[in-house]
Amino acid sequence: MNEILQPIMPWLTALLGPEIDWKQVFLIGMTPIFLLAFMIEFVVQKKRGHGAQFYWKEILANLALGGSYQIVEAVMWLLVTGAIFGTVYQYRLFDVPVNGWTILPIFVAVELCYYCFHRASHRVRWFWAAHVPHHSGEVMNFTNAMRQSLLNAFTGNFIFFLPLVWLGVPPAVVMFCYAVDLAYQYFVHTEMVGKFPAWFEYIFDTPSNHRVHHGRNPQYIDKNYGGVLIIFDRMFGTYEEEVEKVEYGITEQIRSYNFLVLNVHELVDMVRDVLAKGPLSQRLKHLYMPPDWTRPNHTPIRTWKTEHRETPKSNQPLNPMNSGLNNVSA
């Protein structure tokens, strides 16, 4: 590996600084594969008669969100985040070796950090302000994975991965494992397949498990936070099986395809809620309480047009034959 990277290391260091963001390097390198997978998905689903899963205004918004996210993340790593990771690593408690024996435990530890980050992104409004663009899409295809926010670089999401660096895992290893985690997740944003064998569904995040995560059906909200693994959801009580057809989107559905509006609408609303009249102690709760929390005598502010779309719980089971989902046999 070192021999392969050696010729390009000076170029990467000059471009990205001494602490290279291997997350962005890996994800940018994977982008052609991501786009190829989407084209295959489009052809397959079109032949099955499910072209409605591809709404082009939303797909273009997804691509714009993904492109701006990658650029801003890379710039912020170069200017700020990389230095923070490097400084924390200087004060590490141990020197964690990276080899064939340790790489799997390190990856599982990164997955646990991701679970904590992802759960906080749903339950703390400050982090939700950066995560909400990923959930405001109302159709499911591979490009939904690209639906990321440029605010991720500013809200401090990276702090969830710093404990591993402090313990002694090199920042490059943490970021590379995180990149692999995110790359895997690209392929669970699809309706092209139904459910995998039960043992696989029990251990790993799958398209079925992740479709639940994107549902605004009451029983699906804030469930299945795992990236590659679903075991932490099972351990911590946040797992939900896909039983009824998923309705995608958020309960206060934003009506815009403008990538700037999609990026900032929740942040603007949150700031306006904080600034609205009332006791300071109550106003500050808008920053750290769940997104649906409301304070007494205050109507939540919506700067842009939204539509309340809470789906009543249904007893209708998911039917793969009617929904276009195809089970994968063992």
Q: Quick: pLDDT tens for 195-211.
A: 999 999 999 999 999 99
Is 247 within a domain? yes
Closest CA to 163 of 92, 79, 219, 72: 92
Backbone angles phi, psi at 95, to 5 degrees: -110, 100
So what's the pLDDT on residue 268?
97
Over the stretch 306-329, which tens digit does the pLDDT of each residue have?
Answer: 998 766 555 455 654 344 455 654
So what's the pLDDT on residue 52?
80
Is 236 within a domain? yes
Amino acid at 325: L
Over the stretch 154-194, which tens digit does the pLDDT of each residue have?
Answer: 999 999 999 999 999 999 999 999 999 999 999 999 999 99
Is 272 within a domain? yes
Q: How far apart are CA 209 and CA 193, in angstroms?
A: 11
Q: How far apart are CA 57 and CA 61, in angstroms?
A: 6
Which range marks the domain in which residue 133 is found? 15-321
What's the chain's length in residues? 330
Amino acid at 12: L
Q: How far apart are CA 129 and CA 274, in angstroms?
A: 13
Model confidence, pTM: 0.89
Q: How far apart are CA 225 and CA 116, in angstroms?
A: 8
Backbone angles phi, psi at 204, to 5 degrees: -110, 155
- CB-based contact 172:157 (threshold 8 Å): no
Q: How far apart are CA 108 and CA 231, in angstroms?
A: 10
Look at the alpha carbons of 119, 122, 126, 131 in this order and tell me if their dihedral is positive or negative: positive
Is 262 within a domain? yes
Closest CA to 256 of 141, 121, 138: 138
Is 8 within a domain? no
Backbone angles phi, psi at 308, to 5 degrees: -70, 120
Is 23 within a domain? yes
So what's the pLDDT on residue 15?
45
Q: How many domains does the chain have?
A: 1
Q: How far apart are CA 187 and CA 207, in angstroms?
A: 7
Q: How far apart are CA 111 and CA 232, in angstroms?
A: 9
DSSP summary character for residue 80: I
Scanning the structure block, which residue is given the tokens 């663009």? 133
Q: How far apart are CA 320 and CA 193, in angstroms?
A: 9
Is 5 within a domain? no
So what's the pLDDT on residue 330?
37
User: Is pLDDT at 119 greater than 60 in this prediction?
Assistant: yes
Kind plus residue range of the DSSP H or E element containing 306: strand 306-308
- CB-based contact 289:125 (threshold 8 Å): yes
Is 25 within a domain? yes
Closest CA to 274 of 156, 129, 160: 129
